[in-house]
Amino acid sequence: MKKLGALLIFLGLAPGVQAATMQDVLSKAAPSDWRPLDPENTLYLELPTGRVVIELASDFAPNTLANIHTLVRDGFFDGTSINRAQENYVVQWGDATEKKSQGSAKAKLPAEFTRALAGLKFSAVKDVDGYAPRVGFVNGFPVAANAKTNKAWLTHCYASVGVGRGDTLDSGNGSELYVVIGHAPRHLDLNVAVVGRVLQGMDLLSTLPRGTGPLGFYEKDTQRVPIKIKLASQLPDSERSHLERLRTDTPLFQQLVAVRRNRKDDWFQAPANHVDLCNIPLPVRAMKMKK
Q: Which of residues 35-94 bind a copy of itself (CB under 8 A)?
A: 83, 86-90, 92
CB 93 within 8 A of CB 255: no
Between 33 and 158, name the residue whose CB sits nearer to a copy of itself: 158
- List strands edge to edge, sheet with 123-125: 115-116, 151-154, 141-146, 134-138, 123-125
Cβ-based neighbour number of residue 76 at 10 Å: 22
**Quick one: DSSP state of residue 21?**
H
Among 269, 289, 290, 291, binds a copy of itself (CB under 8 A): 269
Applying CB under 8 A, the span of 60-68, 69-77, 187-195, 221-229 interacting with a copy of itself comes to 187-195
**274 binding a copy of itself? (CB under 8 A):** yes
Among 22, 179, 193, 278, binds a copy of itself (CB under 8 A): 278
Q: How far is the CB of 229 from a copy of itself (least distance, A)?
A: 18
User: Under rule CB under 8 A, which residues in 215-234 are in contact with a copy of itself?
Assistant: 215-217
Nearest Cα to 190, choosing from 132, 142, 108, 121?
132
Q: Is 179 helix (H, G, I), strand (E, B) or coil?
A: strand
Among 31, 32, 101, 187, binds a copy of itself (CB under 8 A): 187
**214 binding a copy of itself? (CB under 8 A):** yes
User: Under rule CB under 8 A, which residues in 112-141 are in contact with a copy of itself?
Assistant: 113, 127-131
Calculate the CA dihedral of residues 63, 66, 67, 68 and round it to 10 degrees: 120
**266 binding a copy of itself? (CB under 8 A):** yes
Between 191 and 233, name the residue whose CB sits nearer to a copy of itself: 191
